[in-house]
Structure 1
Amino acid sequence: MAKTPITAPPRWLKLVNRLVIGLQKLGLPLGTMRLLTVRGRKSGQPRTTPVSPLTVDGKRYVIGGFANGDWVANARANGDAVLARGRHRENIRLVELPPDERGPIMRAFPREVPHGVPMFVKAGIVENPTPDEFEKGAAKVVVFRIEAR
């Protein structure tokens, strides 16, 4: 039986994100995680969230598992962002992919970001952690291509 997709992040995620942000700022890298900072669409203030970019065919991408998440809405409103790991900062542009181009990127996710797979399963985006399931779940997420700015 398929789960109904969760449209908003779980409440505990905000606390975990704060912890990850603090560790990253101290220079303690955590797997594939980076800090993505995008200006708030309403406040104009920088907003930071942990993300796990992945590379497919030489291009980098980041996936928004919760299409209604704040960072996704901010990135849609203003694609200019900063991607950081420790002290290394990179100015980037986020370009949203149309739904028909998301499949191959999602298919690569379980291999490229294995620690992120459980979140997609728990959220009901995929039923099981296979590349085929992730490709089927592409319509339920937002995928941004990362470009140099």
Structure 2
Amino acid sequence: METEPTPPRWLKPLNKVMVAGQRAGLGMGGLDVLTLPGRRSGKPRRTPLSVMTHEGERYVLGGFPNADWVRNARAADGLGTLSRGRKHERVRLMELSAEQARPFLRLFPIEVPTGVPIMKDAGLVAEGTPDEYEALAGRCAVFRIDPA
């Protein structure tokens, strides 16, 4: 039985640094921070994310199967807050079907190349090609970000 890929060990500490920088009002390399209620505790959980804009719509990729923030988003019916610096916006994450996600996934490594090394480290993709990303449809969640 094949185990699910997991995030690199360095990702969680780096995420904490990125969230702290964002809370201090710093722009953190173009990352946004998504805040969702924890599915068990209800306490706010913050995750830095790379948001991609395509044809006027914003999208985000759940970079790992069963990522905690993805499970929290599903439990919260997608309602959360997206922040960049001191700007905060209430949002609703609408999960796309695998078929709807395919075009977004093909564009992701081109539009958000900073996400490719993390996916490589986790073993989700070998080279980071559009074809490899498209093959993640149905395995890694993709959400459209709408105003709440």
User: Corresponding residue for 2:9?
Assistant: 11
Of 49, 63, 69, 1:65 maps to 63
**Preserved CA contact (<8 Å) 2:4 2:65:** no
Task: Give the distance between the partners of 2:83 and 2:117, measured in 1 at CA.
Answer: 24
Q: What is the 5 A alignment of 1:1-149?
A: 6-78=4-76, 79-149=78-148
Aligned-pair distance for 1:44? 0.8
Aligned-pair distance for 1:31? 2.5
Task: Give the distance between the partners of 2:3 and 2:119, measured in 1 at CA.
Answer: 9
Aligned-pair distance for 1:6? 4.3
* Percent of matched pairs sharing the same residue: 49
- How large is the RMSD of aligned CA atoms in angstroms? 1.6
Task: Give the distance between the partners of 2:3 and 2:115, measured in 1 at CA.
Answer: 16
**Preserved CA contact (<8 Å) 2:101 2:137:** yes
Cα distance per residue 1:84-118 (max 9 Å; x no partner) = 01100000001111111111111111122111111
Task: Give the distance between the partners of 2:68 and 2:108, measured in 1 at CA.
Answer: 21
Task: Give the distance between the partners of 2:114 and 2:124, measured in 1 at CA.
Answer: 15
Opposite residue 135 of structure 1, the aligned amino acid is E
**Preserved CA contact (<8 Å) 2:5 2:64:** yes
Aligned-pair distance for 1:138? 2.4
Q: TM-score, normalised by structure 2?
A: 0.91
Q: How many residues align?
A: 146
Query: Structure 2 regions of 5+ residues with no counterpart?
Result: none
Could you say if the C-alpha distance between residues 110 and 134 of structure 1 is closer, same or farther in structure 2, counting changes exceeding 3 Å? Answer: same
Task: Give the distance between the partners of 1:5 and 1:93, measured in 2 at CA.
Answer: 31
